Amino acid sequence: MWKEYIKIKNYLKIKWEYLFLGTIFLILSISLNGLSLSTIVPLMDRVLSQRKITLPSNFPYFISLKLEPFISKLNSFPPLLILKYLIFFMIIAFFLKGVFIFLSNYFFRVFSTRISTDLREKIYEKFLNLSLDFFSKKQTGELTTRIVYDVGLLNITFESFFPHFLFPIFLVLSYLVIIFLIDWKFSLLSIFIYPLILIPVLNLTKKLRKLGKSIQETYARIANIINESIFGYKVVKAYNQEENFINKFRQYNENIFKIILSINKRTLLISPFIEFSGVFASSYLIYYGGTKIVKGEMSSGFLFLFFFSLFSIIGPLKTILQTYANIKHSSSALPRIYYILDYKSKIDEEGNEIFNGLKESIEFKNVSFAYDKNFVLENINLIVKKGEKIGIVGRTGSGKSTLVGLILRFYDPVSGDILIDGKNIKNFKLNSYRRFIGYVPQEPVIFYGTIKENITFGD
Ligand SMILES: Nc1ncnc2c1ncn2[C@@H]1O[C@H](COP(=O)(O)OP(=O)(O)OP(=O)(O)O)[C@@H](O)[C@H]1O
Ligand SMILES: [Mg+2]
């Protein structure tokens, strides 16, 4: 899926510098977020409980060496001074965090909107340069949907990718860094303990799905029995089958009763089970953390920071999962868009010669043409002299418009050649050639604009 997205760079000029700037400011704002969260430690330890800050015993040694002087300074300051510093720091930190988040979102937005804007243009440009066989294969309605829907889908994904996917990923990472720094053993324990609770719940929901299915099947059987007894009631009565039918009905009906009970038992169990195991897991964590505080292995500020960061992971994690589903869904638009962008035009072998206008004649030499398999035109030979006016007459669907389309090079003949003054029209540069042709299609098209602009269209 990601490969498909990255492939976009083959078609567009990507502005990497905006991605780079956005990422830098993203990292800055996330770091500042972590830093301002950490002020909870001196606030709790020094100001609220007026004790000394002690680094957790499992704190990485090389970092605690660096932090030690800073912490002993904090421990020597009077609480009120620390409170003042903290408030001052918070104000500045939150201001800067806001600026960084703004800048990061801004650069990401420029980056992604540039891509979707350029993509729209690329597809439209490709469209206009496609040979007509493309349009005969695909319904025009489907094509319009493709541009509008697919690009719209990608647009939404591009827009939400940075704020709702990359940002929460960095956020989760920063929380993980915090909790693992404080106590890696405790972190591992906490991260594994909650998913463990979910395993029985997942099993339960699987079983519920199965039960739901069998209840539907049983209902279908019952409906069948009722149907049979209504439409075949004469036969049922003639053969004294009432008792049999009632027994069968009763059996299925009782089955439904049993299944509903068993479903109810399980759904009613889920919520208290989750609640109880949540409390069980949490109390284990609180016991573990509390013991550490009592033993002096961790101060309450760090424990608080730990729990706060741990539970802050859940929110962004949900966002990541949701956005991931959207990104995956939208990626289905990519192959369709690449199909258009990669489509090889059937008349791309245009020549280099500049066409200077008709001098003598247009000639069809053994021209045959088929849209798909069936030939519409076969071995057409025709010479039209300059100045000659001709009408082509034929049944509807006999190929008149196709013949004219061949002169315009909407398509090229499957076999045979079309010559102008003895030269194959494939030799001419396409737009120099079409410049000399006036074409009024069978189905008139009025373009948006004035009548004058429509009459002088193309000049
Ligand atoms: N884009 C296309 N793709 C596939 N088949 C086509 C396409 N356009 C025309 N045809 C088929 O080719 C045949 C010739 O069509 P064409 O439009 O040239 O006929 P025509 O003589 O101009 O008819 P009319 O008198 O109705 O304008 C028809 O059978 C038509 O169904
Ligand atoms: Mg026609």
Q: Is the CB of 48 under 6 A from ligand 1?
A: no
Beta bridge mates, 39: none
- H-helix or E-strand containing 390? none
Give 222's contacts (C-beta < 8 A, 6+ positions apart). 249, 252, 253, 256
Q: Give the pLDDT score at 138.
A: 59
DSSP string, 117-176: HHHHHHHHHHHHHS-HHHHHHS-HHHHHHIIIIIHHHHHHHHHHHIIIIIHHHHHHHHHH
Ligand 1, atom nearest to 133 Cα: 1
pLDDT band of 387, cuts 50, 70, 90: very high
Confidence of residue 191 (pLDDT cuts 50, 70, 90): confident
Ligand nearest to the CA of 411: 1
Instruction: Specify the ligand 1 atom closest to the Cα of 136.
Output: 1
Q: 231 vs 152, 234, 240, CA distance in Å?
A: 53, 8, 16
Q: What value does the mean pLDDT of the chain take?
A: 88
How far is ligand 1, taken at its centre, from the CA of residue 398, in Å?
Answer: 7
Distance CA 144, CA 62 (A): 61
Q: Are 40 and 301 in contact (CB under 8 A)?
A: yes
Q: Is 136's C-beta closer than 6 angstroms to any atom of ligand 1?
A: yes
Comparing 345 with 76, the larger pLDDT belongs to 76
Q: What is the pLDDT of residue 190?
A: 86
pLDDT band at 140 (very low <50, low <70, confident <90, very high): low
Which ligand 1 atom sits closest to the C-alpha of 132? 1
Between 410 and 382, the higher pLDDT residue: 382
Tell me, using a 6 A CB cutoff, whether residue 400 lines ligand 1.
yes
Give the Å distance between the CA of 458 and the centre of ligand 2.
22
CB 402 less than 6 A from any atom of ligand 1: yes
Atom of ligand 1 nearest to the CA of 395: 25
For 223-233, what is the mean pLDDT?
Answer: 85
Nearest CA residue ID for atom 3, ligand 1:
136
| 444 Cα–ligand 2 center, Å | 12
Q: What is the CATH number of domain 361-455?
A: 3.40.50.300
364 to 1, 204, 414: CA distances (angstroms)? 50, 75, 13
Of 23-27, 72-76, 206-210, 229-233, give the range with the top mean pLDDT: 23-27
Tell whether ligand 1 has an atom less than 6 A from the beta carbon of residue 300. no
Tokens of 399: 């190929």
- Tell whether ligand 1 has an atom less than 6 A from the beta carbon of residue 138: no
Give residue 168's pLDDT.
95
Q: Which protein residue has the closest C-alpha to ligand 1 atom 28?
A: 397
> Ligand 2 centre from 403 Cα, in Å?
9
Among the listed residues 353, 379, 377, the one whose alpha carbon sits nearest the alpha carbon of residue 432: 353
Model pLDDT, residue 128 = 79
**295 touches 56 (CB < 8 A):** no
What is the reported pLDDT for 271? Answer: 81
Please report which ligand is nearest the Cα atom of 394.
1
31, 168, 214 from 172: Cα distances, Å: 12, 6, 41
Beta carbon of 368 within 6 Å of any ligand 1 atom: no
Question: Which parts of 45-78 fold into alpha helices (H)?
Answer: 61-76
Ligand 1 atom at minimum distance from 442 CA: 27
Ligand 1: which residue has its CA nearest to atom 6?
Answer: 371
Cα 375 to middle of ligand 1, angstroms: 11
Cβ of 371 below 6 Å from ligand 1: yes
- How many angstroms is it from 62 CA to the middle of ligand 1? 80
- pLDDT of 348 over the 60 cut: no
At position 359, the amino acid (one-letter code) is K
Site of tokens 């015993």: 57
Nearest CA to ligand 1 atom 18: 399
The average pLDDT across 371-399 equals 92
396 CA to centre of ligand 1 in angstroms = 8
pLDDT at 83 over 70: yes
Q: Domain residue spans in the chain?
A: 2-183+300-342, 191-294, 361-455
What is the predicted pLDDT for the residue at 231? 84
Range in 190-204, 217-231, 371-385 the model is least confident about: 190-204
Banded model confidence at residue 377, pLDDT cuts 50, 70, 90: very high
Whether residue 307 has its Cβ less than 6 Å from ligand 1: no
Pocket of ligand 1 contains residue 397 by CB under 6 Å: yes
How sure is the predictor about 336, in pLDDT bands with cuts at 50, 70 and 90? confident
394 CA distance to ligand 1 middle (Å): 12
pLDDT in tens, 8-57: 999 999 999 999 999 999 999 999 999 999 999 999 999 998 888 888 88
Side by side, the strands of the sheet bearing 415-420 are 375-385, 361-370, 415-420, 423-424
pLDDT at 139: 59
Tell me the pairing of strands 415-420 and 423-424: antiparallel
**Closest atom of ligand 1 relative to the 400 alpha carbon:** 21
- Rounded to the nearest angstrom, the distance between the alpha carbon of 381 and the centre of ligand 1 is 19
- On whether the CB atoms of residues 25 and 104 are closer than 8 A, the answer is yes
50-54, 110-114, 201-205, 338-342: segment of lowest average pLDDT? 201-205
pLDDT digits (tens, 9 = 90+) for 399-457: 999 999 999 988 889 899 999 999 999 999 888 888 899 888 887 777 888 888 888 88
* Cβ of 289 below 6 Å from ligand 1: no
Query: In this predicted model, what pLDDT tens digit does every residue of 166-185 receive, in sequence order?
Result: 999 999 999 999 999 999 98
Dihedrals phi, psi of 378, to nearest 5 degrees: -135, 125
pLDDT 10s digits, 274-332: 888 888 888 888 898 889 889 888 889 999 999 999 989 989 998 998 899 889 888 88
Give the span between the Cα atoms of 366 and 371, in whole angstroms. 17
